[in-house]
Structure 1
Amino acid sequence: MNKNAAKLIAETASLRTPGDWLRWAEKAYARHDIVTAQVADNAHDEALYLILRTLGLSLDSKPKVMKRPVSPLQAKALQEVFVRRILERVPAGYLTQEAWLGPYRFFCDERVLIPRSYFLELIPTLAEHLPPGTPVREVVDVCTGSACLAILLAHEFPEARVDGVDLSPEALEVAKINVRDHGVGDRLTLWQSDVFDAVPVRQYDILLSNPPYEPSDLCDDLPPEFEHEPRLALDGGADGLVIIRKLLRQAVERLQPHGIVVLEVGELREAMERTWPKLRMEWLETFDGSDCCCLIHARDLARGL
């Protein structure tokens, strides 16, 4: 055990309850500048999540559980988790090997990005952008990673056939686990492909993607937590648009005439509007006001590229 780990563990010697651990963890997160954007948006919620999961307690536990005594064996488990989280900067989702999008749990490990996306709130609204009464029969999630968004699409559109596409064979191994766990394997097909290069041509009603969109120089300067995630899933090339360019070009022949492309693009709104000034993009409102997802109708795509 190194000096830093020994010091961190020594700080916890007097902690007796989950509540004690939570108060200590919040302060430790602040001292060590821990970034929580991958699982929660604040130290309290992430530390509470790790404590409950490590102790085998329900995430819906009542506040009174925070006063229960922690056994020596449980304290050791908590020490190990927080050494990895605080000193090694391993993201919480990789420590628990899970992530939650709404009510849905997904398995994840270092082969995929930790599931997180504004599409959680937007997928239920996508059918509103199709002509009234249009049945959604064919849907695709490009750069599917853990398949979390493909699975959300399968749940939202129970009559649709869903494709999930990713270049990484390692990511698709994780995707297979989630497809099995969610019981959607009869409708959801996974493809290993660089965008659509190896996917048979068919026309989709909805083409969705949360592609790699971070510019390469930004990827070089991300917080340590993000260095644990696969770079392939983050790096969008020099300007962040490398995968998006290819996806939009190939989408022209992959959409029904009434179809839509929906992309999550982070901070690239200005770059996209500058790159494709003739392409009509509708920026979808999100609860936090980031509005970083754009929708493009098939009728506008070919003439706007």
Structure 2
Amino acid sequence: MTTRTDDAVPARETLPFGPLEIAFDSRLLRPRAWTAAQSSWVAELLPGAPAGPVLELCSGAGHIGLLAVLDADRDLVCVDVNPAAAERTRENALAAGLGDRVETRCAPIASALHEDERFAAVVADPPWVPAAETGRFPEDPLLAIDGGVDGLTVARECVAAIGRHLLTGGSAVLQLGTTAQVAQLEHLVAAYDGLGVVEVRTFERGVLARLTR
């Protein structure tokens, strides 16, 4: 469904994402149905995770994190550098009945988190398309897909945040484009005490890697 607005405001669209109805617009990446697998994986891990909130990095419209915590008694912190992401995430959290459990932070990853903050689980969906290849996706906003020269600039920031803020016994599920990209990050993952990649799941549109401590 698309709602027409004046020229100054992007048209608001909605899409089903699992049981949720997610609002977004052209400033954000259109939610992909397959990424509900990322939400489901995190949701499966939460019952065995330590006490604490969930962190979503590069949250976009917030749909992946919202679905992950929908049936869990966990707070959710959503981080994205795009002001439109914070706006739509707040809207979607309220629509899902999660407004009192969701905090949005509009800031770069490195400055969005307090030094002493710790999270039971992390869900991250960074842009992972190499900069030279972003022209293949003209319908997608550049901010949401441009991962720098090798596609991993923001993914490295996500790994650093996971390494610093994931609780012992917790898990992170990171979305990337290929298993080769996961392999490129493994040395960085291993640089953080007790952190490692323990499983990778491959899908038609991308891959999910589980990191644990």
TM-score by length of 2: 0.81
Where relative contact order (Cα < 8 A, 6+ residues apart) is larger, the structure is: 2
Of residues 12, 16, 27, the one that matches 1:100 is 16
SS of match in other structure, 2:109: coil
Higher Cα Rg, which structure = 1
Larger strand proportion, structure 1 or 2? 2
1:39-118 correspondence runs (5 A): 97-116=13-32, 118=34
| Cα contact 1:161–1:188 (8 A) shared by 2 | yes
SS of match in other structure, 1:99: strand
Q: What is the one-letter code of the residue matched to 1:149?
A: I
Any gaps of 5 or more consecutive residues in structure 2?
3-9, 191-195
Change (3 A) 1:180 1:135: same
In 2, Cα distance between equivalents of 1:134 and 1:275: 24
Counterpart in the other structure of 2:6: none
1:168-207 correspondence runs (5 A): 168-201=82-115, 202-207=117-122
| Cα contact 2:26–2:141 (8 A) shared by 1 | yes
Larger helix proportion, structure 1 or 2? 1
1:167 aligns with 2:91: no
In 2, Cα distance between equivalents of 1:123 and 1:237: 25
TM-score by length of 1: 0.58
Number of aligned positions between the proteins: 199
Any gaps of 5 or more consecutive residues in structure 1?
1-52, 55-93, 299-305
Counterpart in the other structure of 1:241: 152
Q: What is the one-letter code of the residue matched to 1:200?
A: H
- Identity, in percent, stands at 25
| Cα contact 1:192–1:198 (8 A) shared by 2 | yes
| Cα contact 1:213–1:234 (8 A) shared by 2 | yes
Change (3 A) 1:198 1:129: closer
Q: What is the one-letter code of the residue matched to 1:193?
A: A
Post-superposition offset of 1:133: 4.5
Counterpart in the other structure of 1:273: 183
4+ residue runs over 6 A deviation:
none
Of residues 71, 75, 84, the one that matches 1:156 is 71
Post-superposition offset of 1:293: 0.3
Change (3 A) 1:117 1:241: farther
Q: Considering only aligned residues, what root-mean-square deviation do their CA atoms show, in Å?
A: 2.6
